[in-house]
Structure 1
Amino acid sequence: MSNVRRALIAVAVSAVALAGCDNAPTSVNHAADASAGAESDTVEVDASPGPEPEPAAAAPVRKLLDAHLPDVKAAPEDRFGYFAFKPDADGSKHVRYTRTYHGLPVFGGDIIVHTGPSGAYKGSSNGLLQPLKLDTVPKVSAQEALVQAKGAFLGTARQTQGQRLLVEASTGTGRLAWESVVVGTQQDGRTPSRLHVLTDAHSGTVIGKWDEIETVTGTGHGLYSGQVGIETQKFGNQYRLIDTTRGRASVCDMKHTDNGTCTQLSDADNTWGDGKADDPQSAAVDAAYGAQLTYDYYLKFFGRKGVANNGRGAVSRVHVGDRLENAYWDGKQMNYGDGRDNAHPFVELDVAAHEMTHGITQYSVPNDLTYAGESGGLNEATSDIFGTMVEFYANNPADPGDYDIAERLDLNGNGTPLRYMYNPSLDGYSHGCWSASTKDVDVHYSSGVANHFFFDLAEGTGTTQHGTSPVCGNARAVTGIGRDKAAAIWYRALDVYFTSSTSYVNDANPGNTARAYTLSAAADLYGQCAAEYQAVRRAWSAVNVAGPDAAC
């Protein structure tokens, strides 16, 4: 898939929501060695170094896949491509594969094969309900599909960027579809848009759409983080915001433009910013600090080395656009607008960690957690969850940890946060309890169900020090197991179980749900039917997400 933008705000609805991604590895390509004392001012991003080869240790799992093809609803025309290998310390293995049908990519056809410590087959994660069987000859031309895609674009379209024929199977059954990409700006006139539109290649009907929207220690004065240490690198008599301890993560300045050169910021005394918006370095300090803390959090708790887990740092672009009230991950880097009157940069710590986490999700799940419906809500919630976890991890008195999202940005103009994880419905838009309509709301609002689940799992229901969390309906109260355990369960579910089509509720395939996969993760980490496992069950029930769990 092409690069995906996950914007902080669902601007088509209101200025009250957050967003990230696709499958494009990220690296920073610097023109000269630091020892040479000079380097290009332009930040270049290599977006396609290609997937790593299938390791020899994954070969036994490939053989198990071949022996259990019915479990993943494989058709004779299916082929499976290696995506990622996740071994556990006890010898268990989890291998992700993508799927093609008659050579066409299958959107929603990704799978994970699991083995136990002995190497025995343990099962699979799969989104298909039955083997694919469809005519792969389109009755609708690519040009006709493009017309439909342009009609589905609600902002200002500027250009189209390619099409491909694929099998759309995110609902569990397959349809032949054209994927068309239309590029422009969203309805606010400022936020970039890269809209992917799926058009049924037999009927011509639009069946789906979604927007895409990493030494020397210096001292920085950020807008939100206060005075913090940031990693820099010296070039001649100048310092630049390049972090060689974290894969050469860097911060550059778009100077209120949407496209073109992103210029490296330079400073002579290695003291950056004054904590005010009119100093362009202040926002850069917060962006650098956010990338630094997010990298460290994932490394410390999960052993993950950057967005793509390859040790490369990510680029943070500040001062993007003119009065852009948004932040977004574009598939390879973080982008931060400066908000109202270019005086409110979107670089708060939980926002920075939110956007970088979209990259984590992109590189963890083939084709990403589909950015629409309930899987899109899970995508957004993952970024809210770990944005919050990084904020707690930072333990910065200038921006204490909490379960409010983007509370320092004052996007509503009345001092309230963007979202409330402990009671999502407080924002007037988000779903705090699952219902049949959850799949139909904007992904920033369907994320509320998972956000509410995570809060209940971590902190419990009722009155807590971080807010009062109600239960849905007549659900039982939940006693929290602590943030770190809750985050470990969510990350493992993302890393080794979620497929691109995972949702909250799926009556036809209940195994491909967040409830089922977080229970598997809890069982792996703490034991089947352990207290943590039971807490996961109760926390999902508390947000009205039921499931056919194994008896304990």
Structure 2
Amino acid sequence: MLTLLGLGCMIGNFGNLVYAEQTNSGGISLEKDNSMGRIPDFKKGNLTPISDQNPEIVIFDYLNTNKESYQLGSKKAEDSFDITQITKDPVTHFTIVRLQQRYEGVPIWGYTQVAHISEQGVLKVFSGDIAPNLDQFHSLQVTRKIDETKAIEIAQKDLNMQVTYEENPTSMPYIYLQNGKPIPVYMVHLNFLDPEPGNYYYFIDVQNGNIVDKYNTINSTSVTDRKVPMVGTNTMGTGKGIWGDVKSLPITLLENKYYLQDTTRGAMIVTYDAKNRLQVPGIIWSSITNVFNQSYDAAAVDAHYYTGITYDYYKNTFNRNSYNNSGAALYSTVHYGKNYNNAFWNGSRMVYGDGDGHTFTSFSGGLDVVGHELTHAITETTSNLIYRKESGALNEAISDIFGVLIKQYQNRNIDWEPGKDISVSRNQAMRSMSNPTKYGDPDHYSKRYIGANDNGGVHTNSSIINKAAYLLANGGTHYGVTVNGIGTDKMGAIYYRANIAYFTESTNFSQARVRLIQAANDLYGGSSSEVTAVKASFDAVGIQ
């Protein structure tokens, strides 16, 4: 069986799955019940008057005016929130501001917000979970009895594995909410690829050293590739992919060698060879000719070519310049490990295994797989959806959605079955977006997985959102609800906008519904058939 490893990993083994039988209920509301009290998690309208103040002041004035509604206690908003990102919205020309909630200067894990301010200085949207009344909790008034170094030691002991770190372990103070109770913790980050990929987050109680929580994801945000781009001559080459198809490749000629380095897109696209070892980046792929036709070349040819197609899709469709919208270099490593049955994004590069040769072949041989991994990078630099439970399943679904849309962009038939092109038989996929139950995944919220495996079912429950997206694009009747399809282009535009403009780290399925409706409203108008279709698509999968 195949084993799930983390963010960007395409497949997993979930053992004895536990599924829900009940449905969620209740209509869309601007108010949200949480374990710490009822507070708004999405508000829109003219929330503030016209102002010539900068966006930060507009937001802080709004929060200070509405302290009671958000249950912020005695603290000023300026002392409770940090501005983490400011961007310009290409659709509305509003300023989009992302925030991180803090208490006494310490960030609160998973509590981020996003605000939209019009060109007239009016706050139009405020979205995201807020932890209320933190100053009422005596648990925050503690003396730290362990330090950062001890917290790392505790995490390493629990890991119980000899690893080669990709980056030095780190430990940072956070506040972690457990069942509504805030606990001061150290967040320990352990990132490694050998003996197997791991990117662990541990939350260690500062009082007693207990492990409050832990989970594994392949989402390293600080691994960097320090290789200097080769300065040579841009030229073209050709190569054969894993299925023998010939592809044109932008490459670099330097000192009588041809390298898989494309400097015509963003900063550059570079493809590396791990030589079946567990270290990355490996060495830059090269040849003495500009023809890459050897069987060992095939995985690199596909990775290089499909990364370029993925870059082109986002640039030509959304005017997005690489995953960070600032032209970041795109690195791929192929031939990772031996018979490694997976692919993942590790925070700095796409990494592809060769497959076991029985079920799957090289994972870089699927354009939808390459698009899936690079979309994880976009999510990481925008909404940064936490890779657990519903936010993690939403993260996975977004990557599946854009994987198939990128495949369609290259004028291929859209089959709605991620991973089919890397199946040895070419008739078995990892998931089905049109019929999730084909591979044992839920197609309705009432059937969702509620166990602890797979970070709370990120690869299983993603199928519920996948089905909603499929219905939104194609239409159909599901569980007695009829959806009028709006086509793949509009579906993609709505999901892209929601991810970059409205989703926050902890967005769950119900919140995603509200934010996708708002994205459709922005693009097509509040009374449009597109907004109606978004609502119906979520009705059809039982998400209210």
Q: TM-score scaled by structure 1? A: 0.78
Residues 383-532 of structure 1: pairs in structure 2 closer than 5 A: 383-396=399-412, 400-410=413-423, 415-428=427-440, 430-435=441-446, 438=449, 440=451, 441-462=456-477, 471-472=478-479, 474=480, 476-505=481-510, 513-532=511-530
**Is the aligned partner of 1:210 residue 2:184?**
no
Output one character per residue of 1:466-490: Cα deviation in whole Å (capped at 9) or x when no partner.
xxxxx24x4x111110001001000
1:241 and 1:192 mapped to 2: Cα distance?
25
User: Aligned runs of 1:323-362 on 2, under 5 Å?
Assistant: 323-340=339-356, 344-347=361-364, 348-362=366-380
Q: Which residue of 2 aligns with 1:197?
A: 202
Aligned length, in residue pairs: 471
Q: Is contact 1:439-1:446 (8 Å) kept?
A: no
Q: Which amino acid in the other structure matches residue 530 of structure 2?
A: E
Structure 1 distance, partners of 2:55, 2:107, is 22
Q: Which amino acid aligns with 1:318?
A: V
Of 112, 115, 127 in structure 1, the residue corresponding to residue 114 of structure 2 is 112
SS at match of 2:414: coil
Distance (whole Å) between structure 2 residues aligned to residue 403 and residue 225 of structure 1: 23
Identity of aligned residues (%): 28
Residue 493 (structure 1) shift: 0.3
SS in 1 for 2:301: helix
Aligned equivalent of 1:249: 269
Structure 2 residue aligned with 1:468:
none
Distance in 1, Cα, partners of 2:115 & 2:362: 43
Q: 5+ residue gaps in structure 2?
A: 18-50, 220-228
* Secondary structure in structure 1 of the residue aligned to 2:305: helix
Unaligned stretches of 5+ in structure 1? 17-56, 463-470, 506-512, 547-552
Cα distance, 1:236 vs structure 2: 2.5
Q: Which residue is equivalent to 1:536?
A: 534
**1:270 Cα shift?**
1.5
Give runs of aligned pairs for residues 300-319 of structure 1, distance below 5 A. 300-319=316-335
1:298–1:438 CA distance, 2 compared to 1 (3 A): same
CA distance in 1, matches of 2:287, 2:164: 37
1:163–1:179 Cα contact (<8 Å) kept: yes
Report the Cα distance in structure 2 between the residues aligned to 1:179 and 1:225, rounded to whole angstroms: 47
1:81, distance to aligned residue in structure 2 (A): 2.5
Structure 1 residue 262: Cα displacement:
1.5
* Contact in 1 for aligned 2:111/2:131 (Cα 8 Å): no
SS at match of 1:231: strand
Alignment CA distance shift 1:12-1:385 (3 Å): same
How far is the alpha carbon of 1:263 from its aligned partner?
0.9
Q: Are residue 295 (structure 1) and residue 315 (structure 2) matched?
A: no
Whether the aligned pair in 2 keeps the contact of 1:434 and 1:545 (CA below 8 Å) is yes
User: Does the 8 Å CA contact 1:112/1:497 hold for their aligned counterparts?
Assistant: yes
Alpha-carbon distance in structure 1 between the residues aligned to 2:372 and 2:124: 33
Deviation at 1:11, TM superposition (A): 4.3
Provide closer, same or farther for how the CA distance between residues 245 and 102 of structure 1 changes in structure 2, counting only shifts above 3 A: same
The letter for the 1-side match of 2:458 is: V
- 1:227 equivalenced with 2:232 (yes/no): no
Question: What secondary structure does 1:255 align onto?
Answer: coil
Is the Cα–Cα contact under 8 Å of residues 237 and 268 in structure 1 kept in the other structure? Answer: yes
User: 1:63 corresponds to which residue?
Assistant: 57
Which residue does the alignment assign to 1:382? 398
CA displacement at 1:501 relative to structure 2: 0.3
Aligned match for 1:272, one of 292, 297, 313: 292
Shift of residue 169, structure 1, vs aligned partner:
4.7
Relative distance call for 1:259 and 1:521 in structure 2 (3 A) is: same
What one-letter code is carried by the residue in structure 1 that aligns with 2:9?
A: L
| Dislocated runs of 4+, deviation >6 Å | 170-173
Structure 2: which amino acid aligns with 1:415? N
Q: Which moved more, 1:307-316 or 1:212-221?
A: 212-221
Shift of 1:89: 4.7
Deviations 1:180-228 (A, max 9, x none): 234556xxx9641121122444572533423225932222211148222
Call closer, same or farther: CA 1:165–1:504 in 2, change over 3 Å: same
Secondary structure at the aligned position of 1:109 is classed as strand
Contact 1:5 1:331 in 2 (8 A): no
- Name the SS for the 2:429 alignment partner: coil
The question of whether the paired residues in 1 share the 8 Å contact of 2:6 and 2:216 is answered with no
Show the counterpart of 2:279: 259
Query: For residues 71-86 of structure 1, what are the structure 2 equivalents within 5 Å?
Result: 74=72, 75-76=75-76, 77-86=79-88
Provide TM-score, normalisation by structure 2. 0.79
CA drift at 1:369: 0.4
Q: Give a deviation string over 1:228-257, Cα, whole Å, max 9, x none.
A: 222111113222111111121110111111
Query: Is the partner of 1:68 in helix, strand or coil?
Result: helix
Task: Note if contact 1:404-1:418 (Cα within 8 Å) is conserved in structure 2.
Answer: yes
Tell me by how many angstroms 1:527 deviates: 0.3
Tell me the amino acid that sits aligned with residue 350 of structure 1: D
Amino acid in the other structure paired with 1:194: N
